[in-house]
Amino acid sequence: MSEPPLHARPRVAFLGLGAIGRPMAARVARLYPLTVWNRTAEGARRFGEATGARVAATPRAAAEAAEVVLTCLPTSADVEGLLDGPDGLLAGFRPGALLVDCTSGSPAASRRIAARLRAAGHGFVDAPVSGGTNGAEAGSLTVMLGGEEQDVLQAREVVRAFGQRIEHLGGVGTGHAMKAVNNALLAVNILALGEALTALARAGVRPGPAVGVLNASSGRSFVSEVLVPERVLTGRFPPTFRLALLHKDAGIAAELADECGVDHPILAHAVELLARARAILGEEADYIEALRVNERQAGVELRA
Ligand code: NDP
């Protein structure tokens, strides 16, 4: 299908040019007329210079310039914090606007936000992503959509700019539920591998061969196949996704299980361990650095 001319496509606003928001917004800029806003104005100015996107001075001004507004902030509370006040999104939304929230947020908060927007005649879709900053650059993210059919149809048109697998999971909040559970499993894998590899190192098995055997055996995972070889064994630890955000995601999944009356002893313990790692390593540590806590405790380094 051929693309409509640029002026006939929906205008998009993107708020939150962080580690993953920036490359996602850059993909949107290739397909749609784009306006961006970032809390720290310098980030938006540099993005505008690099991509030709317009820069808005406030969330309100960003919303005024678009039919579809995307947010990608650390938490749902941060998204809620942009809604109100004279410079807020609600003051700027055009009639029938759609908010597509790519934050890895909380289902309950999303339902709250959606209800407020619906009362003002606007739509809401939760659209968290998976695939990391590399996936955002390549346009190969998985996008998990929660919302009403009509809104999801409209959201799909825009998120295809950075998404490859785009899945509509159900009503508002289901995208966020799916994302939280995915990241909870990622967290459990990271924590388990930290224990396993340090125990093996102490038992005299070198980390390189240990990871090689795991990856040819049934104990393998994305963490053992990709994260540990690329980031831990090499000692590179590139900053792509903050441990603080993984802790937040595991917490959302635990809350969800609680609300649904589902026992979750493994997840509850993972949340505690992540909180401890976050306290030790700080707010800027990358997620895979959680293994440094195991390394320090065992007095080993998991390098090839
Ligand atoms: P970062 O911490 O790198 O960036 C956060 C962005 O949100 C920055 O633009 C920051 O602005 C802005 N921000 C922070 N607090 C507020 C606030 N209170 N009000 C307005 N803006 C605010 O996060 P990421 O880009 O890594 O993550 C964004 C979301 O995407 C998170 O929910 C995360 O869990 C999720 N995610 C991240 C992935 C990754 O690989 N990084 C992968 C998949 C999902 P400023 O520039 O001023 O700091």
Q: Could you please report the per-residue DSSP string of 85-134?
A: STTSHHHHPPTT-EEEE-S---HHHHHHHHHHHHHTT-EEEE--EESHHH
Which residue intervals of 143-173 are DSSP H helices?
149-159
The CATH number assigned to the domain holding 286 equals 1.10.1040.10
Q: How far is the CA of 302 from the centre of ligand 1 (A)?
A: 29
Going from the Cα of 55 to the center of ligand 1, the distance in angstroms, rounded, reads: 18
Residue 256: predicted pLDDT: 98
- Residue of 64, 172, 188, 187 whose CA lies nearest to 128: 172
In a domain, residue 304? The reply is: no
Distances (CA, A) of 280 to 95, 285, 288: 47, 10, 14
80 lines ligand 1 (CB under 6 A): no
For residue 5, what pLDDT is reported? 81
Instruction: Find the helix or strand (DSSP H, E) in which 5 lies.
Output: none
Q: Which residues does residue 167 pair with via DSSP β-bridges, in sequence order?
A: 144
Question: Residues 129-185: pLDDT tens digits?
Answer: 999 999 999 999 999 999 999 999 999 999 999 999 999 999 999 999 999 999 999
What is the rounded average pLDDT of the residues 89-106? Answer: 98
Q: In whole angstroms, what is the distance from residue 302 CA to residue 293 CA?
A: 11
Last residue of a domain, one of 170, 203, 234: 170
pLDDT attached to residue 1: 57
Q: Is the residue at 132 inside a domain?
A: yes
Distance between CA atoms of residues 266 and 187, nearest Å: 11
Positive or negative torsion for Cα 121, 127, 128, 133: negative
* Same-domain status, 102 and 182: no
Average pLDDT over residues 6-26: 95
Mutation probe of ligand 1 site: the residue of 20, 82, 143, 274 with most atoms within 8 A of C-beta: 20
In a domain, 1, yes or no: no
Q: For residues 188 and 158, state if they share a domain.
A: no
The Cα 68–Cα 48 span in angstroms is 18
Catalytic residues: 179
Task: Give me the domain span that covers residue 15.
Answer: 6-170
Domains contained in the chain, number? 2
Note whether 134 and 192 are same-domain residues.
Answer: no
Mean pLDDT of 5-29: 95
Angle between helices 174-202 and 290-298 (to 10 degrees): 20
Classify residue 237: in a domain, yes or no.
yes
- 236 and 303 Cβ atoms separated by less than 8 Å: no
User: Which whole number is the average pLDDT over 187-211?
Assistant: 98
Q: Answer whether 174 contacts ligand 1 (Cβ < 6 A).
A: no
43, 165: one domain: yes
Q: Are residue 40 and residue 183 in the same domain, yes or no?
A: no
**pLDDT tens string 50-86:** 999 999 999 999 999 999 999 999 999 999 999 999 9
Q: Which residues contact 208 (CB under 8 A, 6 or more apart)?
A: 233, 304
Q: Are residues 194 and 213 in the same domain?
A: yes
Query: What whole-number distance in Å separates Cα of residue 170 and Cα of residue 197?
Result: 39
| Ligand 1 touching residue 240 (CB < 6 A) | yes
Q: Do residues 110 and 36 both lie within one domain? A: yes
Alpha carbon distance 81, 89 (integer Å)? 10
Q: Is residue 94 part of a domain?
A: yes
- Which of 102, 241, 283 to mutate for ligand 1's pocket (most ligand atoms within 8 Å of CB)? 241
- Neighbour-count burial of 304, counting CB atoms closer than 10 A to its CB (0-12 exposed, 13-18 middle, 19+ buried): middle
Let me know whether 114 and 258 are in one domain: no
Do 189 and 163 share a domain, yes or no? Answer: no
> Which pLDDT score, from 0 to 100, does residue 194 have?
98
Give the span between the Cα atoms of 175 and 177, in whole angstroms: 5
- Ligand 1 atom nearest the C-alpha of 133 is 40
Q: Is residue 140 part of a domain?
A: yes
CA gap 28, 54 in Å, rounded: 13
Are 69 and 10 in contact by the 8 Å Cβ rule? The answer is: no
With a CB cutoff of 8 Å and minimum separation 6, the contacts of 156 are: 145, 166, 168
Average pLDDT, integer, range 1-5: 74
79 is a domain residue: yes
Q: Do 154 and 269 reside in the same domain of the chain?
A: no
